[in-house]
Amino acid sequence: MVAKKSRLLVTALPYLQIFSVFGQTPPPQSFGSTIQKRVKRYLLSGFVCYAAAILVFVFSITYINIIAIIEEVLDYNVADFTKVMGIIQKSLISVMAIANQLNMLLNYRRLGGIYEDIANLEKDIDEASQCFGGHGQRYSFRFRLAIIVGLWLILLVGLLPRFTLFALGPYVSWPSKILTELVIVMQQLKSLEYCVFVLLVHEMVLRLRHTLHQLQVELEDCNRQDMLQALCVALKRNQLLIGRIWRLESELGSYFCLPVMLLFIYNGLTILHVLNWAYINTFIENDCCRYDRFGTCLILLFNLLMACLLSQRCINAYNSFPRILHQIRCLSVSSDFPMLTRGLREYSLQMQHLKLRFTCGGFFDINLQYFGGMLITILGYTIILIQFKVQAIAETKYKSSLNSSA
């Protein structure tokens, strides 16, 4: 198995296995050349059948919830765009499930290549850092993965059903509500799977940055010609490794393009749908789900914020390389050794052209700036939504007053 070749992948393996149980990613055990072909074929066949069963299950839950939202809209007499928004929001769950299963089927080899790239990159980075005392981090990767992904996984599974269960309304039976919560949690786990891979990339960027810092320390007191040549070779190796990380990020963006894009669309539309019903229920005195709807919006936003925040942290670590290169260029040894000067110039030009950008296939960037723009967009649509609602209520009251006076 590929994961056994990498300590980072071994650390992330329990989380990937959880996502595989929920049908979000192929089993990590199916990748690698060490596994027997017959066992691999049986494993993949079983997972395909399991994924098909998940699709049928999601379709059934989607149909039940669409029927329920239609009945609720008719009962509340709000059959305007509330009905259309509700049907689209419920249908997106099935669309996300189909897109995710197709993505796993069509990009299976690409995911295997990503695993191979991570394992090979970790091996080469460790070899490059051996001459400089290895990689030093304040917190271990296992600890950061547990605090960020593991803790949020527990909170997501525990809190999301708490806030959304009663908000599903009385038109959905309790068994269907429980199954609906399972589907909702299942779809939100795609963001956590993406976060695991972002943390893997971030860890390798941090290790390369540590090696570059150690290169800077060695160059400060170096006055031997042979040692300078060895340090220039190490600098070139660091440059090639950071270029491979840039290509790895491009592969991740292509693999997660469709599922993550649909997740952002679904969460944004769900927040608008929840706010719409929150406004409708403001005229009901005994609305028991007022705080639950607020909690639902916060969880959906925070789930997207996690992906954007981790991507931004990785980008910031990557963007710190030019500053270190500038500090090395300011050393006296740099001006006395032309080979080092050319290497620094080439490395700086590479960093200028190969910008690390976590994107959904180039459609939009996944960072804090995009998250802020998404918040502003949701706020704008909410204001427009309330304006339409206020206008509709005013017209209804006006017509009723005319009828009563007549």
Structural domains in the chain (count): 1
**Structural domain that includes position 260:** 114-405
Within a domain: residue 357?
A: yes
Within a domain: residue 19?
A: no
> Which of 309, 312, 303, 306 is closest to 270 using CA atoms?
303
Within a domain: residue 48?
A: no
Buried b (16+ CB within 10 A) or exposed e, 384-394: ebeeebeeeee
Within a domain: residue 37?
A: no
Within a domain: residue 86?
A: no
Within a domain: residue 360?
A: yes
Within a domain: residue 95?
A: no
Q: Is the dihedral of CA 388, 391, 395, 400 positive or negative?
A: positive
Among 79-93, 173-187, 352-366, the range scoring the smallest mean pLDDT is: 79-93
Give 398's pLDDT tier (boundaries 50, 70, 90): very low
- Percent of the chain with pLDDT strictly greater than 70: 88
Q: Are 269 and 88 in contact (CB under 8 A)?
A: yes
Q: Own/partner pairs for 9-15, CB < 8 Å, 24+ apart?
A: 9/115, 9/118, 9/119, 9/122, 9/200, 11/141, 11/142, 11/145, 12/145, 12/196, 12/199, 12/200, 15/145, 15/149, 15/150, 15/153, 15/192, 15/193, 15/196
Give 63's pLDDT tier (boundaries 50, 70, 90): very high
What's the whole-number mean pLDDT along residues 314-330?
A: 92
Within a domain: residue 63?
A: no
* Per-residue confidence (pLDDT) for residue 229, from 0 to 100: 83
pLDDT digits (tens, 9 = 90+) for 172-198: 888 888 999 999 999 999 999 999 999
Report field, pTM of the whole predicted structure over 0.75? yes
